[in-house]
Structure 1
Amino acid sequence: MKGGFNNIVRQAQQMQSKIGKVQEEMADKKIEASTGGGVVTAVVTGDQKLVEIKISPDVVDPNDVEVLEEMILGAVNQAMKLAGDMMNEEVEKITGGMSIPGLF
Structure 2
Amino acid sequence: MKNLGNMLKQAQQMQARMQEMQAKLEAMEVEGASGGGMVKVTLSGKGDLRRVAIDPSLMTADEKEVLEDLLVAAHADAKQKVESTMAEEMQKATAGLNIPGGLGGLGGMKLPF
Q: Alpha-carbon deviation of 1:101?
A: 2.2
Contact 1:33 1:76 in 2 (8 A): yes
Contact 2:43 2:79 in 1 (8 A): yes
- Partners in 2 of 1:81 and 1:20 — Cα distance? 22
Structure number having the greater helix percentage: 2
TM-score (norm. length: structure 1): 0.86
| Aligned counterpart, 1:74 | 73
User: Aligned letter for 1:55?
Assistant: I
Contact 1:23 1:87 in 2 (8 A): no
Consecutive unaligned residues in structure 1, runs of 5 or more: none
The SS at the match of 1:63 is helix
TM-score (norm. length: structure 2): 0.80
User: Aligned letter for 1:85?
Assistant: S
The SS at the match of 1:42 is strand
Number of positions where the alignment pairs a residue of Structure 1 with one of Structure 2: 103
- Partners in 1 of 2:43 and 2:63 — Cα distance? 26
User: Aligned letter for 1:44?
Assistant: L
**Structure 1 residues 38-59: Cα deviation after superposition (integer angstroms, max 9, x where no partner):** 1100001112111000011101
- What percentage of residue pairs aligned between the two structures are identical? 28
